[in-house]
Amino acid sequence: MADIIQLLPDHVANQIAAGEVVQRPASVVKELLENAIDAGADSIKLIIKDGGKALIQVIDNGIGMSTTDARLSFERHATSKIKSAEDLFSLNTKGFRGEALASIAAIAHVELLTKREEDEVGVQLKIEGSKVVTQDVTVTPKGTSLCVKNLFFNIPARRNFLKSIQVEFRHITDEFQRVALAHPNIQFHFYNNGSELFNLPSSNYRQRIVNVFGGKTNEKLVPVEEETQVVKITGFITKPEFSKKSRGEQFFFVNNRFIKSAYLHHAVVSAFEGLIKPGNFPGYFLYLDVDPSSIDINIHPTKTEIKFDDEHTIYALLRSAIKHALGQFNVVPALDFEQDQNLDTPYAYKGKGAEVPKVVVDATFNPFSHDMASPSKSSGSGGGGTNRSSYEKPNTKGWENLYVGLESKVGKESDFSSVSFESEAITGSIFDDSKKALDHVATTFQLKRKYIVTTIKSGMIVIDQSRAHQRVLYENFLKNITIKEAVSQQLLFPLSLSFSKSDIVIIEEILDSLKTLGFAFDKIEDELVEISGVPLLVPESEVGMVLDQLISDYQLDVQIDSFSQSDIVSKTLCKTLAVKTGEQLDNDSQMALVNDLFACKEFKISPFNKPIYITITGDDIDKKFM
Ligand code: ADP
Ligand code: MG
């Protein structure tokens, strides 16, 4: 038999490589921006159309390329950035694989314009699916312009797999922001469908963060500074009170390269322990400088994960640097009346401060939200459908309430009796067994601040508190959206919230569904949203967080496979507002939650398809004793 192995033709090899390098338009954006930075540009323009599906163009004023280099740059493993394997250990460029341009040119229509300072004229190259279509001499300014059209034109399967324009746009914005945050000294412009989204002048780290995330960000930032032999840490964390339920504004840069690291993230979060509510995340923008030979960035094709030689030390240093920054910062508020009072409070989510007098707590409360959703008001309106879930309030209204479980319980006693009453009435028809059991015993207890344990006729059930509450809220929201349509509570004073420009773009896109939900908007501006009405079950103090979560869920691919818009929205809301693992529930709240759960249409499975409870029968227990 003849030999059967052949070398793959270049264009096939390139297409295969492209599968790794180019997952979506945002990958192209990242590669092109990085090339522009490596070329020493101090001004970079990014232009996209239709989420990058129609056009991605990056224009820089860097060193440009000679005609020969321009041709070579599209060859695989063609790079000016490393010459030998040793160079891999002292990398100070973004690129080094020499794969990006070859990969991109294999799966798109690419047009390159480039000129070096010293050359009279530049060169224009057009390449389609790895084939050079034209090469011309051209007049063009110093630097490089790379234009990528019809991404995946020759791989329909990949093209069809792209998400909606909005989702792809969001991925691009993410990449853009990462690069822009890593290089504040470089000026960036970003145009989306012909309009300017970002115009970021050359500045410092702090100013760049503010320019990207909006004017309100400045006051949230606490500087972090630490220099040791292993690592130099600079950057900012956000003050604890600005922590969010959604992840998003969390950035690590190592030697000015954005990286993801669950391990380092943990270091930061653990430094915040006790300062923020469980399930919330601090924002951070942390720049780590290490010796390039002490890291390996070669472990991931898209290079967002790196390996440190001495990860443990970096973890410890990072954690202590942040603790230090937080500590320093916490000294200041005593003297500064502008500071939020929350920061002076010795809060601890472990519920240590249960004896804090009621008065103190109310003082830290937002007076507006108190007006809108005070316990007295809700009980005054009778045992209506929405009141059934009022037990959520001590736990979700604000983090202040976490350490005053005791107080809230007293304040809501009357509420809960009516709550339980109504729930039981409903429960009776659906879950007879447990209803009877609950009637008789009516005891619940909380296990590990995570489960609610209660007895039923046949034994006992262990309920995941967070999932149970998600289910209860989910059905409530769905009902509100589908049946009642736009049940809105008008705010006494409109609420002004600031968002980044890219978030505003998303708010505008989902405006209709937000309105159906019950949100009413007075104004939507550059970085500001004024809200005059919110959905019935959303406490005013949670509005900002809910919107953040809606925005971040929308960016994820959630909406693609979800059945309908209202379903996504209900899911986001229930996820955001439900009690979390780690939150203490008093007895009445536990009871009310159990009752409400079994009044749901589907009480076994959470909205995210997870089991809500398990049953342990008497027999099961008997067996254990055999
Ligand atoms: P890498 O960045 O890993 O070297 P690329 O395929 O991204 O690989 O680029 C190949 C080469 O093309 C680079 O090494 C560089 O010499 C050249 N090049 C790419 N983009 C630019 C640019 N914007 N300006 C100048 N040279 C560039
Ligand atoms: Mg590159």
Instruction: Tell me, yes or no, whether 140 and 224 share the same domain.
Output: no
Angle, CA 625 vertex, CA 620 and CA 626 arms, to 5°: 95
User: 320 in ligand 1 pocket by Cβ < 6 Å?
Assistant: no
Contact 198, 205 (CB under 8 A): no
The C-alpha atoms of residue 424 and residue 439 are separated, in whole angstroms, by 9
Instruction: Tell me, yes or no, whether 139 and 246 share the same domain.
Output: no
Contact 175, 183 (CB under 8 A): no
What is the best residue among 20, 35, 66, 67 to mutate for testing ligand 1's pocket, by most ligand atoms within 8 Å of CB?
Answer: 35
User: 144 in ligand 1 pocket by Cβ < 6 Å?
Assistant: yes
Instruction: Tell me, yes or no, whether 156 and 20 share the same domain.
Output: yes
Q: How many domains does the chain have?
A: 3
Q: How far is the CA of 148 from the centre of ligand 2 (A)?
A: 15
User: 76 in ligand 1 pocket by Cβ < 6 Å?
Assistant: no
**Residue 51 pLDDT > 80:** yes
Grade residue 424 by pLDDT with cuts at 50, 70 and 90: very low
Instruction: Tell me, yes or no, whether 588 and 609 share the same domain.
Output: yes
Neighbouring-strand partners of residue 56: 48, 148
Q: Compute the average pLDDT of residues 593-622.
A: 92
Domain boundary at 200, 221, 244, which? 200
Residue 545 lies in a domain: yes
User: 261 in ligand 1 pocket by Cβ < 6 Å?
Assistant: no
Contact 580, 586 (CB under 8 A): no
Backbone angles phi, psi at 624, to 5 degrees: -65, -25
% of the chain exceeding 70 in pLDDT? 77
Residue 207, classified by CB atoms within 10 Å of its CB into exposed (0-12), middle (13-18) or buried (19+), is middle
pLDDT number for residue 422: 33
**Residue 351 pLDDT > 70:** no
pTM above 0.85, yes or no: no
Domain boundary at 148, 181, 200, which? 200
Residue 358 lies in a domain: no
| Domain CATH number, residue 273 | 3.30.230.10
Residue 419 lies in a domain: no
Instruction: Tell me, yes or no, whether 159 and 223 share the same domain.
Output: no
Q: How far is the CA of 54 from the centre of ligand 2 (A)?
A: 21
For 366-482, where are the alpha helices, taking DSSP H only?
367-373, 375-380, 393-396, 405-430, 432-441, 465-479
Residue of 211 and 10 predicted with greater confidence: 211
User: 72 in ligand 1 pocket by Cβ < 6 Å?
Assistant: no
Task: Name the least confident of 49-53, 224-228, 490-494.
Answer: 490-494
User: 60 in ligand 1 pocket by Cβ < 6 Å?
Assistant: yes
Instruction: Tell me, yes or no, whether 46 and 156 share the same domain.
Output: yes
Q: How far is the CA of 613 from the centre of ligand 2 (A)?
A: 51
pLDDT number for residue 64: 97
- CA 207 vs. chain centroid, Å, equals 22
Contact 392, 577 (CB under 8 A): yes
Backbone angles phi, psi at 606, to 5 degrees: -75, 165
The helix (H) or strand (E) run that includes residue 314 is helix 311-331
User: 97 in ligand 1 pocket by Cβ < 6 Å?
Assistant: yes
Calculate the average pLDDT of the chain. Answer: 79
Q: How far is the CA of 147 from the centre of ligand 2 (A)?
A: 15
Task: Name the least confident of 151-160, 195-204, 376-385, 567-576.
Answer: 376-385
Residue 341 lies in a domain: no
Instruction: Tell me, yes or no, whether 177 and 213 share the same domain.
Output: no
The C-alpha atoms of residue 2 and residue 13 are separated, in whole angstroms, by 23
User: 39 in ligand 1 pocket by Cβ < 6 Å?
Assistant: yes
User: 534 in ligand 1 pocket by Cβ < 6 Å?
Assistant: no
What is the best residue among 33, 73, 97, 113 to mutate for testing ligand 1's pocket, by most ligand atoms within 8 Å of CB?
Answer: 73
Residue 194 lies in a domain: yes
User: 101 in ligand 1 pocket by Cβ < 6 Å?
Assistant: yes
Residue 422 lies in a domain: no
The C-alpha atoms of residue 211 and residue 527 are separated, in whole angstroms, by 11
User: For atom 8 of ligand 1, which residue has the closest CA?
Assistant: 98
Q: How far is the CA of 72 from the centre of ligand 1 (A)?
A: 9
Instruction: Tell me, yes or no, whether 247 and 305 share the same domain.
Output: yes
Contacts of 86 (CB under 8 A, 6+ apart): none
The helix (H) or strand (E) run that includes residue 199 is strand 195-200
pLDDT number for residue 329: 74
Residue 405 lies in a domain: no
Question: Within 13 Å of residue 302, how many CA atoms lie on the same side as its CB?
Answer: 17
The minimum-distance atom of ligand 1 relative to the CA of 31 is 7
**Residue 494 pLDDT > 50:** yes
Grade residue 30 by pLDDT with cuts at 50, 70 and 90: very high
User: For atom 2 of ligand 1, which residue has the closest CA?
Assistant: 95
Residue of 194 and 372 predicted with greater confidence: 194
pLDDT number for residue 516: 76
What 3 state SS string does 540-595 have? Answer: HHHHHHHHHHHHHHHHCCHHHHCCCHHHHHHHHHHHHHCCCCCCCCCHHHHHHHHH
Instruction: Tell me, yes or no, whether 70 and 87 share the same domain.
Output: yes
| Domain CATH number, residue 178 | 3.30.565.10
Q: Beta 187-192 vs 43-49: how paired, if at all?
A: parallel
User: 301 in ligand 1 pocket by Cβ < 6 Å?
Assistant: no
The predicted-structure confidence for 137-164, as pLDDT tens digits, reads as follows 999 999 999 999 999 999 888 888 888 8
User: 58 in ligand 1 pocket by Cβ < 6 Å?
Assistant: no
The C-alpha atoms of residue 593 and residue 467 are separated, in whole angstroms, by 11
DSSP 342: G
User: 234 in ligand 1 pocket by Cβ < 6 Å?
Assistant: no
Residue of 342 and 606 predicted with greater confidence: 606
Contact 95, 34 (CB under 8 A): yes
Domain boundary at 328, 360, 395, which? 328
Q: How far is the CA of 23 from the centre of ligand 1 (A)?
A: 19
User: For atom 25 of ligand 1, which residue has the closest CA?
Assistant: 64
% of the chain exceeding 90 in pLDDT? 42
Per DSSP, the residues of 292-308 read: GGGEE-TTSTT----EE
Q: How far is the CA of 257 from the centre of ligand 2 (A)?
A: 13
Residue 423 lies in a domain: no
Task: Name the least confident of 17-21, 81-85, 336-340.
Answer: 336-340
The C-alpha atoms of residue 548 and residue 212 are separated, in whole angstroms, by 16
Instruction: Tell me, yes or no, whether 237 and 154 share the same domain.
Output: no
Place of tokens 């899911």: 571
User: For atom 19 of ligand 1, which residue has the closest CA?
Assistant: 35
Instruction: Tell me, yes or no, whether 508 and 532 share the same domain.
Output: yes
User: 81 in ligand 1 pocket by Cβ < 6 Å?
Assistant: yes
For residue 467, count other CB atoms closer than 10 A to its CB.
21
Task: Name the least confident of 29-33, 127-131, 401-405, 551-555.
Answer: 401-405
Q: How far is the CA of 576 from the centre of ligand 1 (A)?
A: 44
For residue 177, count other CB atoms closer than 10 A to its CB.
23
Instruction: Tell me, yes or no, whether 236 and 251 share the same domain.
Output: yes
| Domain CATH number, residue 458 | 3.30.1370.100
Order the strands of the 187-192 sheet from edge to edge. Answer: 131-138, 122-128, 109-115, 143-149, 55-60, 43-49, 187-192, 195-200
Grade residue 388 by pLDDT with cuts at 50, 70 and 90: very low
Closest CA to 177 of 569, 576, 555: 555
Contact 419, 557 (CB under 8 A): no
pLDDT number for residue 44: 98
User: 279 in ligand 1 pocket by Cβ < 6 Å?
Assistant: no
For residue 293, what are the domain limits?
205-328
User: 73 in ligand 1 pocket by Cβ < 6 Å?
Assistant: yes
The minimum-distance atom of ligand 1 relative to the CA of 101 is 6
**Residue 531 pLDDT > 60:** yes
